[in-house]
Amino acid sequence: MSDLSALTATQLVAGYETGDFTPVEVTRAALERAAQTQERTNAFVRIDSEEALRQAEESAGRWRRGEPSGPADGVPVTVKDILLQRGGPTYKGSWAVGESGPWDEDAPSVARLRESGAVFLGKTTTPEFGWKGVTDSPRHGVTGNPYAPERTAGGSSGGSAAAVATGAGPLSLGTDGGGSVRIPASFCGIFALKPTYGRVPIYPASAFGTLAHVGPMTRDAEDAALLMDVISAPDPRDWSHLGPVPHSFRGALAGGAEGVRGLRVAFSPDFGGRVRVDPQVAAAVRSAVALLEELGAVVEEADPGFADPVESFHTLWFSGAARVTQAFSQDQRERLDPGLQEICADGAARSALEYLAAVDERMDLGRLMGAFHERYDLLVTPTMPITAFEAGVEVPEGSGLTRWTGWTPFSYPFNMTQQPAASVPCGVDGAGLPVGVQLVGPRHADALVLSASHALYEAGVAAQVPSAVD
């Protein structure tokens, strides 16, 4: 069954169609991997074995009748414990969330997967309310990296990344407000996409506002396209949803490597010298960019030219955190992650005028990037300037940094601009830790980002990243 754990969702669906194996066999293999790796990675806050096997049995019956419910029927899926999933609590990594429920509602992306016949294995770990770029919380502890458990999986969707990387289901739903699917994807050697804001419906609305996105975390870009075809469907609970998708994301991959030919690609290795990038990360990313050139892209080293918007991001982010905890009792506040307590206090002290000034900078940044993409189809950067550091801390020891935004300069700007951005594994450092390359497209160009990412996979970009499915 270990071989089944290594298959992508696309391969699993093909196997169900031919009868080579069943959803029950695949689910048992995924549950076995989840159990085997939980102590090492702490990827899960809950594993629902009995319910998963019941769903798998139902899926197997549909496949026997030739009546699958949708493109994800029978595929094991995990869900970040930020998103509602009926039938069990969504703790959001916090002791402030009680168990009483009623827990009778699915988030839109979860509901679409349920309608498609997916098999839900369990909920994955997150820092409290997804507030930081690593995954640890007072309630659920520290999530370790599948390649080196003493190092971080990244965050805030670190549990989802660890689950996908170790074979505990090929698909996971994550959230991304400042890099939270891309950071752990880079650290854990998987693929992730932060879609254009509004492309995937969100409910309940995030206190972090329109910074927060729901996105796929998968083995490769093809699986992400499959998942996007499911979760991008409209939901009336999200007033900001972009509406029906006029095309299939999987269909956009049909050109394979040819999908890159002629693309105008801007490569910014360090945001114009503003970001210090680890030399091994820089080398791996340059190799991925060279591969894009070999595939026919027209690559130019070019910087988008914006100043670091971190202070405006902090105003938006910290204010959102303060809003999350506004109604908490003193006892609840005292049990929060100390770092979360700090940013909540900071956010509560910022004025409405400061918030609106941050919105103004955000709009200026969006305008600048809109003009940039008039000249370039894609912007390529490192996903992270470093590889995974020690687990259980917000910033690398000895770095002199105070907040997680200090080591994520390539991710949060594109939450501010709402652009689609993907992380593709492109190599490892000397310690065998994965490196990611980030592909950023103009707003609404999700299919283009997926197509270019898929072309890189087809060309072998991830060949140097060993599987974490042992």
In the prediction, which pLDDT does 256 show?
A: 82
467 part of a folded domain: no
In a domain, 319, yes or no: yes
**Catalytic residue among 180, 268, 423, 453, which?**
180
Q: Of 217, 198, 206, 235, which Cα lies nearest the Cα of 112?
A: 235
CB 133 within 8 A of CB 183: yes
Q: Does residue 344 sit within a domain?
A: yes
pLDDT single digits (tens) 438-455: 999 999 999 999 999 999
Give yes or no: 399 in active site.
no
Q: Does 465 map to a domain?
A: no
Q: How many CA atoms lie within 13 A of 20 on its CB side?
A: 11
- CA 226, distance to chain mean position in Å, is 15
**b/e 29-61 (16+ beta carbons within 10 angstroms → b):** bbbbbbeebbeebbbbbbbbeeebbebbebbbe
What tens digit of pLDDT does each residue of 370-387 get? 999 999 999 999 999 999
* 364 located within any domain: yes
Q: What does each of the 470 residues of the chain score in pLDDT, given as a tens digit?
A: 458 999 999 999 999 999 999 999 999 999 999 999 999 999 999 999 999 999 999 999 999 999 999 999 999 999 999 999 999 999 999 999 999 889 999 999 999 999 999 999 999 999 999 999 999 999 999 999 999 999 999 999 999 999 999 999 999 999 999 999 999 999 999 999 999 999 999 999 999 999 999 999 999 999 999 999 999 999 999 999 999 998 999 999 998 888 899 999 999 999 999 999 999 999 999 999 999 999 999 999 999 999 999 999 999 999 999 999 999 999 999 999 999 999 999 999 999 999 999 999 999 999 999 999 999 999 999 999 999 999 999 999 999 999 999 999 999 999 999 999 999 999 999 999 999 999 999 999 999 999 999 999 999 999 999 999 87
Domains identified in the chain, total number: 1
260 is a domain residue: yes
Which of 5, 109, 137, 156 does the annotation list as catalytic?
Answer: 156
Whole-angstrom Cα distance, residue 239 to residue 236?
7
CB-CB neighbours of 450 under 10 Å: 28
Q: Are 448 and 251 in contact (CB under 8 A)?
A: no
Query: Tokens 């995030």 — which residue?
Result: 206
Query: Is 109 considered catalytic here?
Result: no
Q: Which member of 5, 59, 80, 132 is catalytic?
A: 80
**pLDDT for residue 1:** 42
User: Tokens 């189809």 label which residue?
Assistant: 377
Per the CB < 8 A criterion, the answer to whether 269 and 285 are in contact is yes
d(CA 149, CA 188): 11
- In a domain, residue 468? The reply is no
pLDDT at 255: 84
Q: What is the pLDDT of residue 258?
A: 84
Residue 109 within any structural domain of the chain:
yes
Residue 276's alpha-carbon distances to 178, 271, 385, 403, in angstroms, are 19, 9, 7, 16
Annotated active-site residue 80? The verdict is yes
Q: Are 184 and 43 in contact (CB under 8 A)?
A: no
Q: What is the CATH number of the domain that holds 44?
A: 3.90.1300.10
**β-bridge partners, 137:** 141
Which residues, including other chains, have CB under 8 Å from residue 61's CB and lie 6 or more apart?
A: none
**Phi, psi (degrees; rounded to nearest 5) at 357:** -65, -40
Q: Find the domain containing 348 and state its range.
A: 2-458
